Amino acid sequence: MIVVLNHGATEETINRISEKLQQMGYGVHRSTGKKRTILGVIGERREEAAQTLEAMPGVEKVVFITRPFKLAGREFHPDNTVIEIGPVKIGAGELVLMAGPCAVESEAQLLEAAWAVKEAGAQFFRAGAYKPRTSPYSFQGLARKGLSLLEKVRRETGLLIVTEVMDQFTVSEVAESADILQVGTRNMQNFYLLRELSKIRKPVLLKRGMSATIEEWLMAAEYLLSGGNYNVILCERGIRTFEPYTRNTLDLSAVPLVKQLSHLPVIVDPSHGTGKSNLVPAMSRAAVAAGADGLMIEVHPNPPEALSDGPQSLDTRQFAGLVEELKGVAQSVGRTL
């Protein structure tokens, strides 16, 4: 359930109600909104507890949340969550661009890609140091060495870094190099990893599992929120369907739907969503029109030579052209880029 407090409830009142909830055996998550404060109450549903609370001064009403995702849902947090990372705000209206190669391959490849995406207008550089590959014979990533190259990119270009963390054992290592830790589609329901990530405060980009329903995706986000990490960004990256012409089916209807259900920002990845570089521009435009808070796009200086995901990667010139096109789309839907 959630306890909606009166407009202008004082800190003292809020603390008194929180203490009462704790005495009753409930966990309390506070959400301070622009208009009012809401307390998310975690624990068993009890009518008499709701009645006791409703009688307390400062309480406007007690509402039972019917959806299984309590903290990720809009009922608990009616305002959009805005995640601030350095000078960048995600979810505040201005679109964010996360761009870069699938994998960290070498210093030269990384810096060339980074300067190009920065020049084109990206705020974040993406590249995996730890790579979850379908085949054990494919390039597996540069691991720790890759992370130090990403740190060099940040030092030299000022770009913020998004990179994948694959297991619970490397969370602190990746968190030292990353501004956003990415959970890949294959790990969306790795609950040990989610629990570990819930203990840190760095933002997590939670990609949708390739076979996950929207509810399963939001429940994965709930693991992060319920452990105390509220800095969660969702990323739609396509789901697996019967269609073989594309690598995945980019579910753009998920964008407005998730935004209705949840307060968390939503990013779209049209690169993994289609698997084809020539589909990326159209799906990027569509994602912006559908209300995405940003895009994650794979960009490689020389896609035919890429060690992973070359067929879906734009080259640096194509990326710069796409960003120009997106400015007009953003403007037409009341966003800026």
Q: Which residues bind ligand PEP (CB under 6 A)?
A: 102, 128, 132, 184-185, 207, 237, 272
185 or 277: CB nearest ligand PEP: 185
Instruction: Decide if residue 309 touches Mn ion (CB under 5 A).
Output: yes
The one of Mn ion, ligand PEP, none whose footprint includes residue 270, by CB under 5 to 8 A per kind, is none
Decide if residue 210 touches Mn ion (CB under 5 A).
no
Q: How far is the CB of 97 from ligand PEP (least distance, A)?
A: 15
Q: 3-class DSSP state for residue 42?
A: strand
Question: 72 vs 102, which CB is nearer to Mn ion?
Answer: 102
- Report the nearest approach of Mn ion to the CB of residue 191 (Å): 23
91 interacts with, out of ligand PEP, Mn ion, none, CB within 5 to 8 A per kind: none
Query: Could you tell me which residues come within 8 angstroms of residue 275 by beta carbon, excluding any fewer than 6 positions away?
Result: 246, 247, 248, 311, 312
Which residues 92-151 are close enough to bind Mn ion by CB under 5 A? 102
Nearer to ligand PEP, 37 or 313 (CB): 313
For 154, residues 6+ apart whose C-beta sits below 8 A from its C-beta are 125, 160, 161, 179
Give the relative orientation of helices 214-226 and 254-261 as an angle to the nearest 10 degrees.
40
Q: Which is nearer to ligand PEP, 263 or 272 (CB)?
A: 272
| 5, β-bridge pairs | 59
| Cα–Cα distance list, 171 to 86, 127, 143, 194 (Å) | 21, 16, 13, 10
We find the least distance from the C-beta atom of residue 2 to Mn ion, in angstroms, to be 38
Nearer to ligand PEP, 250 or 264 (CB): 250
Burial group, residue 324, by CB count within 10 angstroms (0-12, 13-18, 19+)? exposed
Number of Cβ atoms within 10 Å of the Cβ of 273: 28
Minimum Å distance from CB 26 to ligand PEP?
Answer: 36
Q: What does the block give as tokens for 251?
A: 């579910």
Tell me the C-alpha distance between 17 and 198, whole Å: 25
Please state the closest distance from residue 128 (CB atom) to Mn ion, in A.
7
Which residue, 179 or 309, has its beta carbon nearer to Mn ion?
A: 309
Residue 298 CB, nearest approach to Mn ion (Å): 6
- Which of 162, 176, 194, 178 is CA-nearest to residue 269? 162
Which residue sits closest to ligand PEP, CB atoms considered? 184
Could you tell me which residues are beta bridge partners of residue 314? 299
Binding site for Mn ion (CB under 5 A): 102, 309
